Structure 1
Amino acid sequence: MDATAQPAMIRLSGVGKTYADGTVAVHELDLAVAPGELVCLVGPSGCGKSTTLKMINRLIEPTTGTVEVDGEDVTHGDPVALRRSIGYVIQQVGLFPHQTIETNVMTVPLLYGESRSTARSRAHELMELVGLDAATYAGRYPHQLSGGQRQRVGVARALAADPPVLLMDEPFGAVDPVVRVRLQEEFKTLQRDLGKTVVLVTHDIDEAVRLGDRVAVFAAGGRLAQVATPAELLARPADDYVADFVGSTSGLRRLTVTAIDPDHLEPMDGVNASELAGVVDVGATLEEALAAMLRDDRPMVGVKDGARFVGVLTPTGIHSALRASLVD
């Protein structure tokens, strides 16, 4: 998809940042993010991805170019009003330690003039939405929560003013790996349900592939090396730099972003149920199907579309699907 030709909730046009000592943090770049899209900015440390994110809400002022949010050039507007209208989540969350969880989440609605009762009701609703029981956690303080719980509060606070845009800078980097994966999956579902436009910075290609509708790979000097869907990025890196960044395990990562294709299924005829490693939905990924085979030590998995069996997937079918994705 050529994002520049699509309606955009966020559009960066020639946006760059050069500091007074001549250091180029971000080379002039063009990037458009469609309404409801989640775009991950990924790359090594110092490549300009966090600087790019902060230029969207003008925590860092761009040296060149324009930033549009929902069709409006915000480059020269009121930066404080802009920041209040955009959700912002960072790695260390940034909760106010002396305030309860309820009050932390109420902060932005109160700044907008909401009544305390309306803001409190909204805070409780959002706490439930991110998986925190309001009756249990509303009166607690940040130090009484785990890292994963604090991160959930950070997301709830960012959503409190119902912003159309959410910016996230390494939001899950401070939690342990098991909790991190769970938070990623829960956030992806939440983002899809709410339809928010999200730009998320990460140094982790696995996180970018897992979460992003598209992935923007940054290279040194703040240059945009490639913007593509996860499947396109893994199958067809634009150059050697992107190929090296994606890594030698890109084939395994492609399993996570390649959906089961009915064209690569075999018929159910003559298949004994004891040969099946359970059943997966036709909308599942190849990774989910392969995981079922490995878990149950079976040579194939059944595939259903609703209540209807549509065939079985074997390792040969997985291989065929991966090969087909290289030439699509």
Structure 2
Amino acid sequence: MDATAPHHPHPMIRLSGVSKTYGDGTVAVRQLDLDVGRGELVCLVGPSGCGKSTTLKMINRLVEPSTGVIEIDGEDVTHGDPVKLRRGIGYVIQQVGLFPHQRITANVMTVPLLYGESKAHARERAHELLSLVGLDPEQYGDRYPHQLSGGQRQRVGVARALAADPPVLLMDEPFGAVDPVIRGRLQEEFRRLQQELGKTVVLVTHDIDEAVLLGDRVAVFADGGRLLQYDTPARLLAHPVDEEVATFVGAEQGLRRLSVTRIDRSQLEPAGDLAEADLDTTVPVGATLEEALSLMLRHDRPAVAVTDGQELLGVLTPAGVHRSLRAALRE
């Protein structure tokens, strides 16, 4: 598969031949073709200085491209009014940038008020969004940013970016400044939120684990702003296009593949053949191999029962996990 092969006939975001060369001759991004489908979450990943943040900033023209065309929802936005463009795009950065002297509700109200909404409607919208990101407005709305934890401030940043109900959300290392436990919780909640709201999201991260956990597709960049591979997490881990991608994905790619490979019902065995299996130890058929294997290890079982929510479909053994991984490699 070509790293930059178009995926959607009518993408929400399309970058065609986009480059950024600075005055001193430094090439930040080189001839980039990238499509992001409507409602898709795409992660841009790569080492520091590989052009992923520059790419994100070119989409909302905080950085102007040197060459190429950027289209959003079929409209060429390369030469239009950048301020108008940004009003239709939510933007979340690592250091959230909340207004320190404004209460949390007022911070989230900022964008709706700029758009001319009444204070009452803007406040109502802010309270809805705070609830949506898991912050009770009654408890947190009147606090100031310094009275919140890093993870809570990050949630407020997401709420503020959603306040104008933008179809496109750009996120630059949004969970990078919080501790690992909180980060994992924020990632899971954000994935659920994105699926619920159907936003088109482009997220920059240096963390391959975050990219394969969150992304519908992952774009791997290299130094000099080159796009090496653009693929689903499962295909990226199973079929790195070259040694450079394989090295970046790392030695743990086999373990990471467990987290993105779903249970293959054709690899299940009849429950009757495994009397030892505790059939109370069950996973749904849509679970990942990692979830199934973790359950086996945690409960010291030779297999886990797999159900479709109502019926028992069979049991998955470690051998079945191995066969499922092998089958995924052939896809």
Whether the TM-score (by the shorter chain) exceeds 0.5 is yes
* Matched residue, 1:23: 26
Q: Aligned ranges for residues 57-96 of structure 1 at < 5 Å?
A: 57-96=60-99
1:251 and 2:254 correspond: yes
Runs of 4+ in 1 over 6 A off after TM superposition: none
Q: Please, which of 127, 130, 142 is the counterpart of residue 130 of structure 2?
A: 127
Of 168, 171, 174, the match for 1:168: 171
Q: Judge conservation of contact 2:218–2:231 (CA < 8 Å) in 1.
A: yes
CA RMSD of aligned residues (A): 1.1
2:230 to 205, 221, 227: 227
Give the distance between the partners of 1:223 and 1:86, measured in 2 at CA. Answer: 25
SS in 2 for 1:269: helix
Cα deviation, residue 3, structure 1: 3.3
SS in 2 for 1:3: coil
AA matched with 1:82: L
Structure 1 residues 119 and 193 mapped into 2: Cα distance closer, same or farther (>3 Å)? same
Cα distance change, pair 232–325 in 1 and its aligned pair in 2 (3 A):
same
Question: Residues of 1 paired with 2:132 and 2:275: CA distance?
Answer: 43
- Change in 2 beyond 3 A, CA 1:323/1:277: farther
Aligned with 1:38 (options 36, 41, 55)? 41
CA 1:5–1:191 in structure 2 vs 1: closer, same or farther (change >3 Å)? closer
1:147 corresponds to:
150
Where 2:272 maps in the other structure, the secondary structure is: coil
The TM-score with structure 1 as length reference comes to 0.98
| 1:83 CA drift (Å) | 1.1
Distance change (3 Å), C-alpha of 1:230 and 1:242: same
Gaps of 5+ in 1: none
Give the TM-score taking structure 2 as reference length: 0.97
Q: CA deviation at 1:153?
A: 0.3
- Structure-2 separation of matches of 1:226 and 1:145: 39
Report the equivalent of 1:105.
Answer: 108
How do 1:4-23 and structure 2 match up within 5 A?
Answer: 4-23=7-26
Given that residues 43 and 203 in structure 1 are in contact (C-alpha distance below 8 angstroms), is that contact kept between their aligned partners in structure 2? yes
2:299 counterpart of 1:296: yes
Report if aligned partners of 2:43, 2:215 keep a CA contact under 8 Å in 1: yes
Larger displacement relative to structure 2 (77-86 or 151-160):
77-86
* d(CA) in 2 for partners of 1:258, 1:120: 42
Which whole-Å CA distance do the structure 1 matches of 2:271 and 2:7 have between them? Answer: 45
**Could you tell me how far apart the structure 2 residues matched to 1:295 and 1:313 are?**
15
Cα contact 1:279–1:301 (8 A) shared by 2: yes
Contact 2:277 2:302 (8 Å CA) reproduced? no
Asked if 1:205 is matched to 2:208, the reply is: yes
**CA apart distance, 1:82:** 1.0
Asked if the contact 2:277/2:303 (under 8 Å) is kept, the reply is no
Partner of 2:59: 56
The corresponding residue for 1:268 is: 271
* Matched residues, number: 328
Q: Deviations over 1:183-210 (max 9, x none)?
A: 0000000000000000000000000000
Equivalent pair of 2:305/2:316 in contact (CA under 8 Å): yes
> Matched residue of 1:153: which SS?
helix
How far the C-alpha of 1:239 sits from its partner, in A, is 0.5
Structure 1 residues 219 and 274, CA gap change in structure 2 (3 angstroms):
closer
Which secondary structure does the structure 1 equivalent of 2:96 belong to? coil
1:305 and 2:308 matched: yes
Q: Is the 8 A contact 1:91 1:172 kept in 2?
A: yes
- Offset at residue 6 of structure 1 (A): 2.4
Would you say 1:191 and 2:194 are equivalent positions?
Answer: yes
Per-residue deviation, 1:88 = 0.3
Task: Give, in whole Å, the separation in 2 of the partners of 1:324 and 1:44.
Answer: 31
Q: Distance in 1 between matches of 2:139 and 2:73?
A: 37
Shift in CA distance, 172/14, structure 1 to aligned 2, threshold 3 Å: same
- For residue 72 of structure 1, what is the amino acid of its counterpart? E
| Distance across 2 between alignment mates of 1:4 and 1:298 | 42
| Aligned residue identity for 1:300 | A
Match of 2:121 among 118, 121, 125: 118
Q: Return 5+ residue gaps in structure 2 as ranges.
A: none
Give the counterpart of 1:321 among 317, 320, 324: 324
